[in-house]
Structure 1
Amino acid sequence: MSNNPSDTLPAVDAMRKYWDVITPLMGGTMAMRAAGKSLLPQYPAEADESYKERLSLSTLLPAYSETVGNMTSRVFAEPLQVGDDVPDQLKEMTKDIDHAGNDLNSWAVEFFREGLSHGLCHAFIDHPTVDGVRTQAEEAAAGVRPYAVMVKPEQVLGWRSKGGQLTMFRYIESVEEEDGEFGAKCVDQIRVLEPGSWRTYRMGSNGGAWALHDEGTNSLKKISLVTFYTGRTGFMTAKPPLLELAHLNVKHWQSQSDQDNILHVIRVPILVRIGVQATFDNQGKPVPPEFKVGTGSLTDLPKDGDLKYVEHTGAAVKAGREALQDLIDEMRMAGAKLLTPEKSATKTATQADEEAAQELSPLARMASHFADCLAQLLQFMADYRGLGDGGTVEMRGNFDVDYMPEVSLPTLVAMANAGMLSKETLFAEMQRRGVISDEYDWAKEFAKIEAQGPALGTM
C-alpha cells in the first residue's frame, strides 16, 4: 500500500530505461556529457582525470534528434487543417491553444516530436475556475476558457484505469511563483487528475512529505487526457519506434570518443632515449641523468646511444574512420524505416467493404493517429463549452519514401537527359521534393523557357 503521490508505477520505471537513452540524445552534446559513464563508459585502466578530459572533448553526431526533427517536418510539410465542422468558438481558441501564445499548428509540432522521440506523449484540456464567474458570457469577459496542457513522458508518475477507461492520472510539474519584488522561483508539485476533479500536492518545508496543496472540480465526467502513441505496447505504455537508431547513435558517440582520443594520442610523438645507463648516488638510489630538449639546448648521449621520436602508424585511425562511416550508414537506414510502406488494413468496416488494404508507411499512420488525438482535444474543449461536436483535424504531410532527395535527384536528371523521363515530370518530382516552390506552374515555366531562347553554349 502506498499513499505517496510521488511513487512511480513499474510500467513507468520500465519506460524510463528507454528514456535514459533517448532524452540525452535529444538534448545534444551537453546532455550526453552530463549522462557521463552511463553512456560513455570509463576504460578499466583509465585515470579519472583522463576520463573527465575525454568526456569533456567528446561531441555528438545528432543523428537521432535530427531524424526525429526531419520526420516531424515531413508530417507538418503543410500546416494542419482544422475542419469546417469545427465550431467557430473553437477555431478562435486554436489561435492560442495553450494560453501561452502558440497556435494549434505550432503547439502540435512539439507534441508530435515528443511522441515520436519517446514513443508516446500526453496532453489534456484544463479549464481554470474563477470565483464569481458562472456563465459563458462572464467567462469570455474574464478571459477564462479551456486550453491545452502538454505532459511529457518523463513527467508521468502513474495512472489507474477501469474497464479501459482512465480513472486517475498523476504527473509532476514545475510551477513558477513570484519571489520578492523582482525574483521568481520554481516549485515542484504533483497534479492528480480524476473524473470531475483534480488535486495538487507539494513537498513540505525542509524536504518533508508530500501534502495536499489545492483541489477543485470541473464539469467533465471523465479525464480530459489524450495520449499520442507512436510505439504503443499497451495501455499508457510504449516503446520508442526509433530505439534501435538511438542505440546506434550511442554507439557512434562512444566510437567517436575513441577516435578523437586516438587522434589526440598519435598527434603527440613520444620521445625515446636508447642506451642511457642509470647512475646511482651514495645511498644506492638512481640519479636521473640531465636531459635538455629544445632550441639552444644540447643533450649528451653515451656511445651507441640514440634519441628519436616514435610515432603511431595510423592504421587504427583508418579502421576507426571506416567503422564510424558504417555506423552512419546503419543509422540512415534505421531512420528511413518510418517511410517504408507497410500493408495496413483500413480503419472501419465501411472502408473495408469499399476499399482493399492500402499501403501506408509507419509515419503516415502516426500522422493519422495524431490528427485523431488533436480532434479529441478539440472535443474536450467543446464539452467544456457545451458546443456538441468538436470537429476534425487533417494532417497533410509528405510521406514519400524518398528519404534522401540528394541521392535520387541526379538519377532523375540523368533519366530526363536520356529521354527516359519528360521534363514536366522532372519538374513535378523536384517540386515534390521541395527543390522548386509549389508556387511555380510548369506550363508558365515552359513558356518562359521557350521565350528566352537556347541556353549559352548550346548554339
Structure 2
Amino acid sequence: MSNDDPSIKLPAVDRMREYWAIVDPLMGGTQAMRAVGKTLLPQYPAEKDDTYAERLKLSTLLPAYAETVASSTSRVFAEPLQLGEDVPEPIKVLSTDIDLGGNDLNSWSVEWFREALAKGLCHAMIEHQPTRDAEGNKLYKTVAEEQAAGVRPYAVIIKPGQVLGWRFDGGKLMQVRYMESVEVADGDFGVKCVDQIRVLEPGSWRTYRKADKGGAWEKQDQGSTSLDYIPWVTFYTGRTGPMTAKPPLLELAHLNVKHWQSQSDQDNLLHVARVPLLFVFTDNEEFQLTISSASATRMPKDGNAKYVEHTGAAITAGRDSLKDLVDDMRMAGAKLLQKDKQAVKTAAQANEEAAQELSPLARLAGQFADCIAQLLQILSDYGSLGDGGHVEMRGNFDSDFAPEVSLPNLISMANSGKLSDEALYSEMQRRGVISDELDWAAEFARIQTQPTKGVSLDD
C-alpha cells in the first residue's frame, strides 16, 4: 500500500485492534459474541458444523465486562458534572446542546468516558459549521451574522476504531486521520452511507472518498479553520504512549471470554446428560429393537437392555468452575476501586499533605475533568473568549456502592457502643441515605428536644 494512500493504518493501530477484537463483542452482548463465531468460541475437533452452529445459537453471555464498564461509568457520573464559575457564559449556552443532537455536556460525556474505559482511550474533537464556501469565500461578514444564522462549534466523539493514523512533531499533534460514514442523497428520496476519510492538520482539513468500490481514494473536499492547532482531545484510561492505549480491564475481558466458552460447554453437557442412553446387551446380530408404548420387545435368551444416565459429577465440576470464574471476574472488575498511595502533584500540595489516597477510577475521573476543560478551551478559542474554565466531577468512588449491605453492620456497631451516633450519621450521609444539606449538630439538638418515641404498657 502506498504511503500516499490516506487509508493506510499505522502498526500501532493494528496492535490496538487486537485488543478491541475481544472487547467489542463483549460490549455488544450475546448477539455480537455469536456473530464472531469461532473466533471466541472454538469448534471441537470432532464437532460437526451443524452441531457447532446449534451450540453457538444456544450460547449466552454473562455480560460481566459490559456491566463493569457501565457501573464504573455510573459511579463517575453519580452526580452531573458541574461547570465552574469561570466558564464563559456563551460556552455554558453551547453546553446545553454540545453536539447539535440535543445532548447536554453531561450526557454526551457519559458516552465518551464509557467508550474510553472499555477500549483504553477515546477521542473527541470540536467541529465548526462551515463559515466559508467551496472557493474559500466568507459566508458571513461578521460574528453577529454567524450567530444569527446559528453557525457554531460543536463536539464530536471519534471512537478509537475509526482512527487510522497520526503524526507528532515535537510533542504537538500535526496530523490525524480517521474513517467516518456520511449520509448522501440517493435518488429523489433515498439516502446511502458512504465511507469517508477525514484528515486534520493545524488550521486545515480535507476529506477523501472512493469514486467506486475498487478505486483509489480521491480528495473530496477541503477547508481551513481559525485555529493554529488540531481541535482534538484524547482521553486515556490505559495509556501506553501518544495515541495508544491498552484497555484497563483487559484481564476481565479475557476472563469473560473464558466464561462464555465454559458456559457453552456446560450448557452442551447438560443437554447431553438430560437424555439417557439405551444400551442393549445381546450377541444376536439379527436382533431388532422396537421402542413404542404400543408394542413389546422380545429379548433373545440371556439378553438385557437398560438406560445409562450421566452421574452428574462433571456437571457439578463445571458449575463450580463457572462460580469460580464469576468470583475471579468480580475481583478483576473491582480493581478500579482499590485505593493506593499517589504522590501529590505540586509543591503547594506537598505542604498540605504527603500523599493522597485515590482509587484508579477516581484518578480517571480527575483526568477526564481535565479533558473536558480542554474541550471548553477549544470552544473558547473559536469564539475568542479567553479562558474556557473548568469542570468538577462529583463521582461516587466508595467501594461500598450498596449501602443496604453495610448499614446494618454500622447500626449494630452504634447500638453496641462501638461507633458514635455522629459517625453513624456521617456514614449514612456519605452513602446518600441522609441529605448532605442536613447538619449533625442541628439534628442532634432537635433529637434532644423531640418527644421520646415508644408506647407505654398502660396504653
Change (3 A) 1:310 1:122: same
Determine the structure 2 residue equivalent to 1:93: 94
CA contact (8 A) 1:339 1:403 kept: no
The whole-number CA distance in structure 2 between the counterparts of 1:255 and 1:16 is 25
Deviation at 1:7, TM superposition (A): 1.1
Q: Map 1:390-405 to 2 at 5 A.
A: 390-402=388-400, 405=403
Change (3 A) 1:248 1:134: farther
CA contact (8 A) 1:122 1:228 kept: yes
TM-score normalized by structure 1? 0.92
Q: Map 1:191-230 to 2 at 5 A.
A: 191-230=198-237
Determine the structure 2 residue equivalent to 1:285: none
Deviation at 1:207, TM superposition (A): 2.8
Change (3 A) 1:276 1:435: farther
The whole-number CA distance in structure 2 between the counterparts of 1:178 and 1:349 is 59
Determine the structure 2 residue equivalent to 1:146: 153
Instruction: Give the aligned residue type for 2:71.
Output: N
Determine the structure 1 residue equivalent to 2:259: 252
Candidates 419, 431, 434, aligned match of 1:433: 431
Q: Helix, strand or coil: the match of 1:96?
A: coil
- Is 1:273 the equivalent of 2:273? no
Candidates 379, 382, 401, aligned match of 1:381: 379
Determine the structure 2 residue equivalent to 1:54: 55
Change (3 A) 1:409 1:294: farther
Change (3 A) 1:454 1:262: farther
Change (3 A) 1:408 1:370: same
Determine the structure 1 residue equivalent to 2:268: 261
Deviation at 1:424, TM superposition (A): 5.1
Deviation at 1:434, TM superposition (A): 4.2
Structure 1 stretch 269-278 or stretch 217-226: which is displaced more? 269-278
Candidates 352, 370, 373, aligned match of 1:372: 370
CA contact (8 A) 1:230 1:238 kept: yes
Change (3 A) 1:455 1:260: farther
The whole-number CA distance in structure 1 between the counterparts of 2:90 and 2:284 is 93
Determine the structure 2 residue equivalent to 1:299: 297
Q: Helix, strand or coil: the match of 2:96?
A: helix
Give the unaligned 5+ runs of structure 1: 280-288
Change (3 A) 1:204 1:139: same
- Is 1:453 the equivalent of 2:443? no
In angstroms, what is the RMSD of aligned CA positions? 2.4
The whole-number CA distance in structure 1 between the counterparts of 2:96 and 2:164 is 31
Candidates 406, 409, 415, aligned match of 1:408: 406
Change (3 A) 1:254 1:433: farther
Determine the structure 2 residue equivalent to 1:169: 176
CA contact (8 A) 1:201 1:214 kept: yes
- Write the deviation string for residues 207-256 of structure 1: whole angstroms up to 9, x where unpaired: 31111111111110000100001111111111111111111111111111
Instruction: Give the aligned residue type for 1:159.
Output: W
Number of residue equivalences: 449
Change (3 A) 1:450 1:40: farther
Structure 1 stretch 236-245 or stretch 410-419: which is displaced more? 410-419
Instruction: Give the aligned residue type for 1:198.
Output: W
Which ranges of 4 or more aligned residues in structure 1 deviate by more than 4 Å? 403-407, 434-452
- Is 1:352 the equivalent of 2:353? no
The whole-number CA distance in structure 2 between the counterparts of 1:393 and 1:456 is 55
Change (3 A) 1:316 1:436: farther
Deviation at 1:403, TM superposition (A): 5.3
- Write the deviation string for residues 99-155 of structure 1: whole angstroms up to 9, x where unpaired: 111000000001011111111000011112144224221111111101111001111
CA contact (8 A) 1:156 1:170 kept: yes
Determine the structure 1 residue equivalent to 2:136: none
The whole-number CA distance in structure 1 between the counterparts of 2:378 and 2:117 is 23
Q: Map 1:105-116 to 2 at 5 A.
A: 105-116=106-117
The whole-number CA distance in structure 2 between the counterparts of 1:433 and 1:72 is 18
Query: Percentage identity across aligned positions?
Result: 65
TM-score normalized by structure 2? 0.92
Deviation at 1:177, TM superposition (A): 2.6
Deviation at 1:298, TM superposition (A): 1.6
The whole-number CA distance in structure 2 between the counterparts of 1:455 and 1:52 is 68
Deviation at 1:455, TM superposition (A): 8.1
